[in-house]
Amino acid sequence: MIEKTLSIIKPDGVKKGVIGDIVKTFEENGLKVVAMKMIHMSKREAEGFYAVHKEKPFFQSLTDFMCSGPSVVQVLEGKNAIDKNREIMGATNPKDADPDTIRDKHGSSIEVNTVHGSDAPETAKTEIAYFFSDIETFS
Ligand code: ADP
Ligand code: MG
């Protein structure tokens, strides 16, 4: 099924200068970029985005990290895009990520792990709408 998913190149990925490498990996794996922009999230925007984690012990630290510099938010489209993106990203903790996944190559820690990807159709829909209006995404 052709799906859309939200992807974020987190502030560590932008700082390391690996935007191009990450986008190339998506494209080589059949995912097309159908929306893209660079944003510097405010604390409030980061808290809203990660609201499902607000009870977690790492919530403050995670949202501080997410607003520590600019990120690239993008919508990826392709066959099974949601699961495919999660595969390409690798496990949340870079130590557990399969070889050659983005988090294996570029992630620094379980928190500073370079990329975000939606985890299900419902979350993809709400996460895309969090950053992009309908006329800002293509197909
Ligand atoms: P994923 O991004 O793989 O979907 P989660 O939804 O569980 O992972 O967590 C969201 C983000 O919170 C992670 O990508 C990571 O940046 C951070 N995070 C997750 N678990 C921890 C943890 N135990 N300690 C610090 N940060 C964490
Ligand atoms: Mg998640």
Q: What are the residue numbers of the active site?
A: 116
> 100 is written with which tokens?
């050659």
DSSP assignment string, 76-132? EEEETHHHHHHHHH--SSGGGSPTTSHHHHH--SSSS-SEEE--SHHHHHHHHHHH-
Sign of the dihedral through C-alpha 15, 97, 82, 112: negative
Pocket test for ligand 1, best of 110, 112, 126 (most atoms within 8 A of CB): 110
Residue with CA at minimum distance from ligand 1 atom 9: 92
Using pLDDT thresholds of 50, 70 and 90, give the confidence band for residue 94: very high
pLDDT at 77: 98
* pTM of structure: 0.98
27-49 per-position pLDDT tens digit: 999 999 999 999 999 999 999 99
Nearest ligand 1 atom to the CA of 92 is: 3
